Amino acid sequence: MSRVRVDAEQTGLLGALRQFFALQRDVLVLSLAMFAFSLGFQMTSRFLPEYIVALGASGFVVGLFGTVGNVVSAVFPYPGGAISDRIGSRYALTLFGLLSTLGFGIWLVAPTLGAISVAGVTIQPWVWIFVGLLFAQGWKSFGLGATFAVVKQATDPSRLAAGFASTETFRRTAFLIGPVVAAVLIDLHPAFTVSFRYVLAVAVGFGIIGTLAQHVLYDASEDAIGDSFAGIDQIKRDLRELPDPLRPLLIGDTLVRFANGMVYVFFVLVITQFYQVGFETTISLAGFSSVIDLSPAAFFGYLLGVEMLVALLSMIPAAKVAEGVGLKPVVAVGFAVYALFPVVLIGGPAVLAPAVPLQWAMVLIFAFSGLRFAGLPSHKALIVGPAKQGAGGRVTGTYYLLRNTAVIPSAALGGALWEFVSPEIAFTIAAVIGVVGTGYFLLFGEEFEAYL
């Protein structure tokens, strides 16, 4: 694989695109497939809690759904890597692409299945959303560690954050486009269970295109078939060899992500059910006026677009700042936004009222949320930086295995608090846990020596 050096002139959006088109064909195809599947997943995943509720589930079930997603995120990467090693990248990519497309399809047909009785047990339509999740995240199981390793190999150690900023800028463009496209489609029909299926149909289309493109265009001539997975002993060895500087980062990050996991799946319900806020305004231009009237679900899609726009605008400047002040302060700022966002979202509108109307308060709040991504490139650099050359993928995989496993019960806890106590308590407790994690990292986290 060719090495692409990330220099100062390559760290803008134009530079990220220039670097992208300089990649070898197989990496280029992989990146395009990542874009297609990221677009499909971001169009759908953030709206699924509303979809589940519309199909008859409770808030507690939404929390369980988030926990199942955490389980998948923790468990899938290791077997995904093992499968890729055994059958080669081309066939692994095709298999994972087919699985994800099948998952989108299961979500699409879930309402038409209705309640099914099996052995005296009634299976409600929302159960199929859980089944679809197991398939839809299939493609995401491929390449997490490899992506980190490639950036580490291609980038000077003192500019790791800038390297990740370039790749993240391109990838997260799909995160910006996806929810906005979903918002447009959702507003085409007043019934959410109907309009959201338009979104799912488009996601299936992206999945098919991405799968076919990567299978046909991917050059498998240099694929190497590796040895079989060494099993539990390999995992234990990787855990023992995790670099010492990563341990305080891992603890702080886990607490912050646990806090976020408690409330993440409920963000859409805060907009559609807790506040029931849409967006309405009149635009006048040259004597003509037009009324914009968005449903709460559609408004949520545009709010996600605002969030990701701020993220895209802030990641590269934050990476440049990290070169002057170090990675740790930039990562800490991102952690702080993660920690505070739950209370800002659930209580911020009341603080801003009546000076700021509710709909505009939500725009400001989600713009604030976008700042949590500013620290993401620095965070990734801090994870893979201490790894030995050639071990970046294993270190990254081990880190995420530990973190994501610890975060598994977070959404179920948040769902129980949301359903049986109150949303305000759920979001406040989440914020407290996040602040503790941020404080721990500030006290004990270590700076990557290349940035000292």
pLDDT in tens, 338-363: 999 999 999 999 999 889 999 999 99
Backbone angles phi, psi at 117, to 5 degrees: -100, 120
The owner of tokens 């290349």 is 450
Angle between helices 144-154 and 392-407 (to 10 degrees): 140
The owner of tokens 């489609």 is 185
Q: Is residue 292 packed enough to be buried (19+ CB in 10 Å), middle (13-18) or exposed (0-12)?
A: exposed
Q: Is residue 205 packed enough to be buried (19+ CB in 10 Å), middle (13-18) or exposed (0-12)?
A: middle
The owner of tokens 């302060």 is 329
Token pair of 213 as six digits: 């493109």
Q: Which of 401, 409, 405, 406 is nearest to 78 (CA)?
A: 401
Q: Is residue 235 packed enough to be buried (19+ CB in 10 Å), middle (13-18) or exposed (0-12)?
A: middle
Cα separation of 448 and 452, whole Å? 7
Mean per-residue pLDDT over the chain, rounded: 82
Instruction: Name the least confident of 128-142, 202-216, 414-428.
Output: 128-142
**pLDDT at residue 226 in the model:** 47
Cβ-based neighbour number of residue 289 at 10 Å: 9
**pLDDT at residue 273 in the model:** 95
SS3 20: helix
What angle is formed at CA 50 by the lines to CA 49 and CA 52, rounded to 5 degrees? 65
pLDDT tens-digit profile of 324-342? 888 899 999 999 999 999 9
**pLDDT at residue 435 in the model:** 98
Q: For the residues 42-64, what does the mean pLDDT come to?
A: 94
415 in Cβ contact with 59 (< 8 Å): yes
Extents of the domains making up the chain:
8-219+229-451
148 in Cβ contact with 393 (< 8 Å): yes
The percent of residues in the chain predicted with pLDDT above 70, rounded, is 75
384 in Cβ contact with 396 (< 8 Å): yes
Q: For the residues 154-181, what does the mean pLDDT come to?
A: 71
Residue 232: pLDDT over 70: no
Residue 212: pLDDT over 90: no
Domain 8-219+229-451 indexed as CATH 3.65.10.10: no
Q: For the residues 263-270, what does the mean pLDDT come to?
A: 97
The owner of tokens 């079930």 is 61
**pLDDT at residue 142 in the model:** 54
Beta bridge partners of 116: 123
**pLDDT at residue 205 in the model:** 95
The percent of residues in the chain predicted with pLDDT above 90, rounded, is 48
pLDDT band at 9 (very low <50, low <70, confident <90, very high): very low
**pLDDT at residue 172 in the model:** 76
What angle is formed at CA 402 by the lines to CA 409 and CA 323, rounded to 5 degrees? 115
